Structure 1
Amino acid sequence: MRGRYVETVVTKKRASSRDFINAYDREESSGHLAIGTAKDAGNPHWRHSLVHVLVATLSSFLFGYHLGVVNETLETISFDLGFSGNTMAEGLVVSTCLGGAFVGSIFSGWIADGVGRRRAFQLCALPMIIGASMSATTKDLWGMLLGRFFVGTGMGIGPPVAALYVTEVSPAYVRGTYGSLTQISTCLGLLGSFVIGIPAKETMGWWRICFWVSAIPAAMLALFMEFCAESPHWLLKRGRSTEAEAQFEKLLGGSHVKSAIIELSKSDWGDEVDKVKLSEFLYGRYFKVVFIGSALFALQQLSGINAVFYFSSAVFKSAGVPSDSANICVGVSNLLGSIIAMVMMDKLGRKVLLTGSFFGMAVSMGLQATAATSFVSSFAALYLSVGGMLLFVLMFSLGAGPVPSLLLSEILPSQIRAKALAVCMAVHWVILSWLSLMFLTKDLFFRAIETAKSTPMQLIFFYSLQFFLMMTRQ
């Protein structure tokens, strides 16, 4: 009976879908409760879907780990592989990975829609294992660059698929919390890379261990995803209604299958799911929503957060602070903010966290700009600079970090969600790779610092503008 009901819902046209649902509702006794608030007794238990989400967040852990793995190890890598002092080569070690991520993100939506979310995760893990192995065993720069490119392709596929999967398997009343778990996992990966990289400067060849370690969670992701649920949304789009029903039962419990199908049927499922073309995102009917999503990711990266993750060692070293201890503090600040965001996401809402995050980032940059002036002593400047940077990371992780991918996966129309999110993430990687390549040239980086010291109000204006834009959005 359920299978025939699902097939009927999926094949209904948009115009008649509401009538069909209303008729079904009238036939049911008024026992179906909306999946909306945690207090409703009819909500599915969150434990059913939690384990599946936790496995998916392994891709976010790998994302964070590979972002930070070169922070402490880049100096020894360049020495061992014979390009020490070549700032362009050092920049390529990072930016090649990000270039691979751009390639992976471009195709991630088509992969996720073509083979399903579970298989997409496994395809994400495969190049990460290969790339990490190549990086750990290479004897020259070219082997490192090729390995980093393979890792990057996996990094590009992972985040969009994780955002999709978490949105599609989570009960609505904990979706924000589960979405924040991906950011927490990214923070743990980043923090883990900082911790494991501490001995790199004293132990010869330790950087190779750092790359080998990353193959373990990648293998776990590929293995454990085999036992996880497939997205019921994807199965319904493929006309596999009986399987979708079984996955809903696994994720929500048997008593919530019908209500979940009713909720899902309100989305725009139609025959045009697989007919969406890339041109429609660039200048067609979906341009506006894709532009908003791309702009959100662009502002996220133009905030400069990854310059902090890449250059915290250099910045703290110039301030006379031990880089290993300081990097741990950066990781802890990032993790703390993400935990707070997880707790508050479904209570305060996405917009409040996003606006508060940008405002806090503006304040933190104001502190750092003040430290660069002649009005404070060198002792106070040290605390303002370091404290401002840690506050900047904390405020970023409260909203600007976790909200964009979660928000887009919720507001994008279902028939274009995977592909549109892939395009938006591609913009994210283009900007990040460009910034990384430029800032990894040390001379240019320190000239940028001097410029920032001479024009501190420009920094404050930039973040204040972002805050203003978010506050005035309807």
Structure 2
Amino acid sequence: MRWKFNSSVYKRMSSKELTTILNQDIENSAKVTSLQENGNPPWNLSLPHIFVATLISFLFGYHVSVVNEPLESISLDLGFAGNTLAEGLVVSTCLGGAFVGCLFSGSIADGIGRRRSFQLSALPMIIGAAISASTNRLEGMLLGRFLVGTGMGLGPPVASLYVAEISPSYVRGTYGSFIQIATCLGIIVALFVGIPVKDAAGWWRICFWVATAPATLLAICMEFCAESPQWLYKRGRIGEAEAEFERLLGASHVKAAMAELTRSDRGEDGDSIKYSELLYGRHFKVVFIGTTLFALQQLSGINAVFYFSSTVFKSAGVPSSLANICVGFSNLSGSIIAMLLMDKLGRRLLLLGSFIGMAVAMGVQAGAASLHHLSSGTIYLSVGGMLLFVLSFSLGAGPVPGLLLPEIFPNRIRAKAMALCMSVHWVINFFVGLLFLQLLEQLGAQLLYSIFATVCVVAAIFVRKNVVETKGKTLQEIEVALLQTQ
């Protein structure tokens, strides 16, 4: 049996009226439906949609690393070689664009839907990469990097929303891990594509042209993907939400999914939420948890390691390209392990273990820095500590926040709350990258690494006290449970 609604009627109804009508039929029949259904929804129906969505994460990783190897060649060809400020702008302008894109991601995702938001994020990434690839001036490169950054800021929060909203609950953790794996693959592909840059004149332009292909693929393929049923329901498009549930879960699971979605609705208009409402009232607790998790993730020093890992490896006589690849594969290995464990051990345990492992790894780094004489043992400690830090990060602190937050945010605030939390991520990311080398010079490696280790310990304590387990629960079950505790 399929739910049938007269669109001309339900479009004139408020959310409260819709909830009343739906509750009379859907929630009552859900009990019968749950008895008739055996097992979980098929996982393979939603998988193609997940793969398309994670293209934005691949692009994110690619553009973060695309200038690492080619930067010297770019500076020579565009005439700013030796200008460290200009070189820094080429790298960091992307982060500024990402912050701008992230600020608007919540409103855009709520306004035009998840699918159109993906397509909108792909557009500046295509145009920006093309401008960067074809420019002959520094200004053109900066414009291209800024445009790419806006797409990078808009896309990842929407990807986290979309994956959480269309995944069956029993594989949502596994599917959420695909975001981190795609990011790692993007980083590694960018590093490999950049290898010929020192031998082939103008190869850096190819590196940017390559980035237009997955962005174009994302924009085209998303036209054939499902829209988020949660977003459709929030917009009052009940019949379409039911149809998308059927595409994603199968016909036999539509009633239960609609019943869960209706049960979590509180008769509030999702469009009326303002950013100021996230900072007080009953939503403050979950938003505080989300912003704090992202802040602690960045203050742990992970991006300082990603940005400046080559200096440690160079002291061991390892070429920077090989160093970056080692870090990339360490990140990828941990992400794959996290994917296998996410729906078995749960989000909370992985987060705890990840931050504790990062604290130990930073302690090893600090210990190595305290040894003033440079020996093979010290070098091995530094390199080993760095790889252990990246591996520990990718096991939990990397993939879990982007998955956990859409799970704990109610449907009404989900998009804008994710935008707020990711904006905190970008701001701290920018300042860590900006100040790391200066702090390293003024404080010394031992003290700075000790500070990072302390942040990781604080993060583990915060997770233990504040983070709830969401493994195997539907988004609606999580929302109802959290509302009951407030």
**TM-score, scaled relative to structure 1:** 0.91
Alignment of 1:229 onto 2:226: yes
Alignment of 1:188 onto 2:182: no
Q: 2:365 pairs with 364, 368, 374, which one? A: 368
CA deviation after TM superposition for structure 1 residue 396, in Å: 0.4
Q: Distance in 1 between matches of 2:198 and 2:258?
A: 55
CA deviation after TM superposition for structure 1 residue 432, in Å: 1.2
2:262 corresponds to: 265
Partner of 2:45, secondary structure, is helix
Q: Distance in 2 between matches of 1:164 and 1:415?
A: 12
Identity of aligned residues (%): 62
Q: Is residue 65–residue 193 contact of structure 1 (8 Å, CA) maintained in 2?
A: yes
List aligned pairs for 1:166-177, cutoff 5 A.
166-177=163-174
Partner of 1:48, secondary structure, is coil
Alignment of 1:59 onto 2:56: yes
For residue 3 of structure 1, what is the amino acid of its counterpart?
K
2:210 corresponds to: 213
Q: Is residue 33–residue 256 contact of structure 2 (8 Å, CA) maintained in 1?
A: no
CA deviation after TM superposition for structure 1 residue 77, in Å: 1.7
Alignment of 1:241 onto 2:245: no
1:37 corresponds to: none
List aligned pairs for 1:285-304, cutoff 5 A.
285-304=282-301
Q: Distance in 2 between matches of 1:438 and 1:216?
A: 34
Q: Is residue 129–residue 219 contact of structure 1 (8 Å, CA) maintained in 2?
A: yes
1:133 corresponds to: 130
CA deviation after TM superposition for structure 1 residue 310, in Å: 1.9
Q: Is residue 52–residue 228 contact of structure 1 (8 Å, CA) maintained in 2?
A: yes
Structure 2 CA distance for partners of 1:166 and 1:29, relative to 1, 3 Å: closer
2:476 corresponds to: none
2:459 corresponds to: 466
**Residues 17-44 of structure 1 deviation map (CA, whole Å, 9 limit, x = unaligned):** 8776553345x265255xxxxxxx4311
Q: Is residue 234–residue 269 contact of structure 2 (8 Å, CA) maintained in 1?
A: no
For residue 447 of structure 1, what is the amino acid of its counterpart?
E
Q: Distance in 1 between matches of 2:69 and 2:105?
A: 30
CA deviation after TM superposition for structure 1 residue 161, in Å: 0.5
Structure 2 CA distance for partners of 1:283 and 1:245, relative to 1, 3 Å: closer
1:31 corresponds to: 35
CA deviation after TM superposition for structure 1 residue 284, in Å: 5.2
CA deviation after TM superposition for structure 1 residue 377, in Å: 5.7
Point out the more displaced range, 314-323 or 98-107.
Answer: 314-323
Q: Is residue 440–residue 448 contact of structure 2 (8 Å, CA) maintained in 1?
A: no
Q: Is residue 367–residue 385 contact of structure 1 (8 Å, CA) maintained in 2?
A: yes
For residue 464 of structure 1, what is the amino acid of its counterpart?
V
CA deviation after TM superposition for structure 1 residue 328, in Å: 1.1
Q: Distance in 1 between matches of 2:236 and 2:446?
A: 59
Point out the more displaced range, 311-320 or 61-70.
Answer: 311-320
1:36 corresponds to: none
Q: Distance in 2 between matches of 1:17 and 1:350?
A: 33
Structure 1: 5+ residue runs without aligned partners? 34-40
For residue 259 of structure 1, what is the amino acid of its counterpart?
A
Q: Is residue 101–residue 429 contact of structure 1 (8 Å, CA) maintained in 2?
A: yes
Structure 2 CA distance for partners of 1:243 and 1:458, relative to 1, 3 Å: closer
Q: Distance in 2 between matches of 1:111 and 1:461?
A: 37
For residue 345 of structure 2, what is the amino acid of its counterpart?
L
Structure 2 CA distance for partners of 1:269 and 1:251, relative to 1, 3 Å: farther
**TM-score, scaled relative to structure 2:** 0.89
2:76 corresponds to: 79
For residue 444 of structure 2, what is the amino acid of its counterpart?
T
Partner of 2:197, secondary structure, is helix
For residue 24 of structure 1, what is the amino acid of its counterpart?
S
1:162 corresponds to: 159
List aligned pairs for 1:437-452, cutoff 5 A.
437-439=434-436, 444=438, 447=441, 451-452=444-445
Work out the number of aligned pairs and report it: 462
Structure 2 CA distance for partners of 1:279 and 1:29, relative to 1, 3 Å: closer
Q: Distance in 1 between matches of 2:124 and 2:87?
A: 22
Q: Distance in 2 between matches of 1:143 and 1:420?
A: 34
Point out the more displaced range, 184-193 or 256-265.
Answer: 256-265
CA RMSD of aligned residues (A): 2.4
Q: Distance in 2 between matches of 1:137 and 1:456?
A: 41
For residue 300 of structure 2, what is the amino acid of its counterpart?
S
CA deviation after TM superposition for structure 1 residue 123, in Å: 0.1
Q: Is residue 32–residue 42 contact of structure 1 (8 Å, CA) maintained in 2?
A: no
Q: Distance in 1 between matches of 2:302 and 2:448?
A: 19
Partner of 2:413, secondary structure, is helix
Q: Distance in 1 between matches of 2:42 and 2:425?
A: 35
Structure 2 CA distance for partners of 1:49 and 1:146, relative to 1, 3 Å: same
Structure 2: 5+ residue runs without aligned partners? 468-486
**Residues 117-175 of structure 1 deviation map (CA, whole Å, 9 limit, x = unaligned):** 11000001000001101111111221111111100000011111001111111111100
CA deviation after TM superposition for structure 1 residue 346, in Å: 0.7
Structure 2 CA distance for partners of 1:378 and 1:16, relative to 1, 3 Å: farther
1:153 corresponds to: 150
Structure 2 CA distance for partners of 1:445 and 1:89, relative to 1, 3 Å: farther
Partner of 1:108, secondary structure, is helix
Q: Is residue 68–residue 310 contact of structure 1 (8 Å, CA) maintained in 2?
A: no
Q: Is residue 371–residue 378 contact of structure 2 (8 Å, CA) maintained in 1?
A: no
Q: Distance in 2 between matches of 1:15 and 1:239?
A: 13
Q: Is residue 91–residue 438 contact of structure 1 (8 Å, CA) maintained in 2?
A: no
CA deviation after TM superposition for structure 1 residue 315, in Å: 3.3
Structure 2 CA distance for partners of 1:58 and 1:238, relative to 1, 3 Å: same
CA deviation after TM superposition for structure 1 residue 82, in Å: 2.0
For residue 109 of structure 1, what is the amino acid of its counterpart?
G
Structure 2 CA distance for partners of 1:5 and 1:370, relative to 1, 3 Å: farther
CA deviation after TM superposition for structure 1 residue 303, in Å: 1.5
Partner of 2:66, secondary structure, is helix
